[in-house]
Amino acid sequence: MNDTSPSPGRPPTDTPLLEVRNLGKYFGNVIALHDVSTTVLAGHVTCVLGDNGAGKSSFIKTLSGVHPPDSGQLLIDGEEVRFASPRDALDTGIATVYQDLAVVPLMSVWRNFWLGDEPKKGFWPFRRIDIPKAKRIAKDELRKMGIDIRDTDQTVGTLSGGERQSVAIARAAYFGARVLILDEPTSALGVKQSAVVLRYIVEAARRDLGVIFITHNPLHAYPVGDRFLILNRGQSLGNFAKDEITQDELTKLMAGGAELHELQVEFAKTR
Amino acid sequence: MTATDATPAVSSTEPTVDERLAHRGPIQQLLLRPEIGALIGTTAVWVFFWSVADVFGTAAGTANYLDVAAILGIMAVAVSLLMIGGEFDLSAGSMTGATAMLVILLSKEAGVLGGAGLSLFLAVPLSLCFALMIGWFNGTIVEKTRLPSFIVTLGSFFMLIGAKLGFSKLFAGQVVVEGLDDAQGYGFWRNVFAASWVRNEHLWESRDVVWTVLLIAGVVLVVVGILETSYRRAPTKDATGLLVAGVGTAIALVGFIALLRTDGVGANTLFGAVTGIGVLMASLGYGRWRFPRLGKRGHLQLDRSSARLVGVGLAVIVVAVLLAAYLDASSTDNVGLLITVGFSRAMFVAGIGVAGILAVLVVAGRIPVWSPLLGILICAVPGIGYLMTRQAARSVIFVVLAVAGLVALLVASTRAAAWSAAAGLAVELLISVALIGLAFFIRSESTSEKFRSQLFTVILLIALALACSALMGYLFTIRTAPDDAADAFGRRAAIAGVFVVLLATAVKMLYTTAAENEVASGVIRYRVSILWFAIFAVFGTWLLLRAQFGNWIFAVGGNKEAARVQGVPAFRTKTTLFMMVSGAAWLSGMLIAFRLNSVQANVGDGEEFEYIIAAVVGGNLLTGGYGSAAGGAIGSLIMSMSTQGIPFAGWNTNWRFLFLGVILLLAVAGNTYVRNKAASSK
């Protein structure tokens, strides 16, 4: 997988697609996020790692316009933006694929793919979905992501977990997303399915999207990531480019990484 | 055989095949539709009442149950859409009465009984506005408070009941408001909502010719559609096939016309046989023209399990015929062998049960869908009507055993077809021979003219169709790969055929002939509500399947949060759905008000459950996200057929609730099973 990912590091001439500067978010006196900074480049994958409660979901929700940030700045193409709603973020090209509510299981693949922005034909009273076109494009776009759907009429519920995530990813990519936020896409999946989703993540980056990949699994993050933001209790533990950190260090930095190491040592002694 | 050299040529023209995709035949695709269970149920219910009640199948009966279906169906379609959108509306029933009452109150003379004295040109639109407002209110409360719609609309249900009773008492001093026909503009609106088509006044002497031609054309189109989607396309067309098909068609037509113009058993049998041969030639010629030959046919020899089933099936059919012939028809109290009338009634119920189980099996795909089982069911259920012609025991035994025997043969035919094409052909031909035998048995033994002529003909036609399809399956290659062009063509042909058949039926039902008019008892009246119902059902189906809004309905019902995240305006979608239901309630209310000219305060109260039952029977998922608008319409047909059919059959109308309950349970169980089956078939 390493060889397929784009080379790490940021070329100095490139303005980041999305930049987060000293972001802070407070719920009453609870600090959800404090002084978090990172960058997302087109064609690169930025991984956000952290254990449960580290502030990952607050981070996503702030980026996708659900919560306005309390301090710090969001910059898109070097210009500061403020989102009033998720729709705003979507219009700016930030698409979020949530882990559990990405698709409607009882609807067919093509209906899911186009949901909310269906291609239409005909004039008003008889305005209807252009079904052949919708099916064709859905099939083509999914194939570009490397998913060969047998029949776009089959319901999404019959797809595997990884394929469902990929339908959502392909959809976001097609609808002009520039930054794709993936909320724990691999957490509910088995090893093979996770590998499938990781492949789609790399595929999305190769198509020049900036990807923010949220996960608690460094094993999933390291092979695909170009930049790693590690969160713990709402604070940034560091924001590294790939050449600045190894997988072992990454694991250790994660909350629990040190504890796991201690555990290993302890077990080794007692055996 | 020549088939061996044809095979390589065919496989090279085959498009790239996705090996994971098992080709879905047209009937299999149809089976994935939510409303298919209800469609089969409608057929079964229709056939059942056709066999037990003389008036049911006639125009008079049709006008009667369609009228009941219309008012229920308009609501059921709207409630189906709402249910797919994930909500309920318990106020829908009392809403119909409320709008009907409102329009009367608004149009009554000012000062008299609190009337507003409005022209109906104002009162009718105003009551629509009122209905839409209630719908908007329901939707807004449900969405804003996030309370279950069950509770919210229960609240508006009681509010509407209270308001209806209170206002009618207050203004009219009684719980009924009347005198709509005095209002200004009544004539116009009565035409819109309560016009009717009197069949007795519409004579059309060539009706039967038109009917026959349309019916045959429709059936031919459907058959062509099924063939085109089932068989592989030949790379080159064989002109001899076309010639054979043409000659066959001509022979069939000549035979058929002669059949219609002659009387007497001898001539009828002769020309019937001529027609049959013509049809067989036509279908085989068509196959030769369009489809490549089958390469490997295998041997006639059966595998052991199929052979055993064939034996069982034939034995059971023979026993059925012998028993039915042995048990004397005239004794109804005790028919011997401990079989009493009570026992035969129990068997009667068992017969219905068997028919139901078979329907489920067909739907589940356990029994091959391309097999003519449906046809056999349609023949079998009316055999129960034998029971009603005072030949209780023998008819029940005959029906149950004959069906069981045919089913055994059918299962055998699938197994045999999997073994080899030749073995499948043998068993299928055996089934059609058995069917022909049964048809002649019914013809010679039945005392009812209906069975002697109509059922006899239908069973023979099914046997003929089965024989044709068996031979074609043996001679030509079934398609296993998708072929979009052929599928699209086939689907269009089949749909057009269904419409032509419906048109034929409409012609037959709407027009009368002088001869028919002479023997007609009473006036047969089709009300305009049926037209409204048809328009509403078509509109609902189109909206759900073709329009963007339909996509949103599925989405908000299936996963509201996902829909919202995708930019679907969930609030607007749901509110619109509630407003559609109350708009439909307004339409129903107008249909009631202009028919009766007076409205009782309790009109429609409690009927919301019937709408929900109709929607669920029609295959809509109670929890939302899945279903069809047409399903609601079909569900309401089933319900009205049962409620009207029971009195037609001369039974106590109180049985209808038992009947409805059984239908509801069967429908839900069947639909759930089908849905799981559909969802798991990748």
d(CA B657, CA B667): 15
Domain regions of chain B by residue span: 78-201+519-626
pLDDT at A53 (0 to 100): 76
The model's confidence at residue B5, banded by pLDDT at 50, 70 and 90, is very low
Q: Which residues, listed in sequence order, are joined to residue B525 by a DSSP beta bridge?
A: B198
Query: What letters, b where the CB count within 10 A reaches 16 and e where it falls short, cover B328-350?
Result: ebeeeeebeeebbbebbeebbee
What pLDDT sits at residue B100? 93
- Yes or no, beta carbons of A157 and B682 under 8 Å apart: no
Q: What is the pLDDT of residues B604-624, one digit of tens each?
A: 888 999 999 999 999 898 888
Residue contact A148–B558, C-beta within 8 A: no
In the prediction, which pLDDT does B385 show?
A: 46
Contacts of A98 in chain B (CB under 8 A): 565
How far off is chain A from B246, nearest CA to CA, in Å?
35
Contact flag A104-B547 (C-beta cutoff 8 Å): no
pLDDT tens-digit map of B423-478 = 888 888 988 998 888 888 888 777 677 777 788 888 889 899 989 988 988 888 88
Contact check, Cβ <8 Å, A157/B679: yes
**Does A155 reach chain B within 8 Å, measured CB to CB?**
yes
Mean pLDDT of B552-579: 90
pLDDT band at A91 (very low <50, low <70, confident <90, very high): confident
Asked if B96 contacts B585 with a C-beta cutoff of 8 angstroms, the reply is: yes
B482 pLDDT band, cuts 50/70/90, is confident
Least Cα separation, residue A159 to chain B (angstroms): 8
Residue B82 in contact with residue B89, Cβ under 8 Å?
A: yes
| Nearest-CB residue to A90 (from B542, B548, B567) | B567
Q: Which pair of tokens denotes residue B176?
A: 């009924």
Q: How confident is the model over A208-214, as a mean pLDDT?
A: 89
CB contacts of A86 in chain B (<8 Å) are 565
3-state secondary structure of B45: helix
- The SS3 assignment for B256 reads helix
Rounded mean pLDDT, B239-251? 91
Confidence label for B65 from pLDDT (cuts 50, 70 and 90) = very high
In chain A, which among 85-124 make CB contacts under 8 A with chain B? Answer: 86-87, 90, 96, 98, 101-107, 111, 114-118, 120
Cα–chain center distance at B244: 35
Q: What is the pLDDT of residues B18-38, one digit of tens each?
A: 444 445 555 566 667 778 878
What's the mean pLDDT when you consider all of chain A? 81
Query: What pLDDT shows up at residue B392?
Result: 52
Largest CA distance in chain A: 77
Q: Do A115 and B542 touch (CB under 8 A)?
A: no
- For position B306, what pLDDT does the model report? 78
Instruction: Report the amino acid identity of residue B95.
Output: M
Pick B324 or B540 by higher pLDDT.
B540
Say if the Cβ atoms of A106 and B626 lie within 8 Å: yes
> Cβ contact (<8 Å) for B547 and A103?
no
Burial class (CB in 10 A: 0-12, 13-18, 19+), B546: middle
Instruction: Answer yes or no: do B555 and A86 touch at CB < 8 A.
Output: no
**Closest CB from B20, B558, B681 relative to A107:** B558
- Tokens, residue B595: 């028919």
Helix (H) or strand (E) holding B178: strand B176-178
User: Domains, chain A, ranges and CATH?
Assistant: 2-105+176-270 (3.40.50.300)
pLDDT at A110: 92
Q: Is A188 on the interface with B (CB under 8 A)?
A: no
Answer whether B574's CB lies under 8 Å from B139's CB: yes
- Residue to test with chain A: of B545, B551, B561, B622, most A Cβ within 10 A: B551
Return the residue of B nearest to A171 by Cα.
Answer: B566
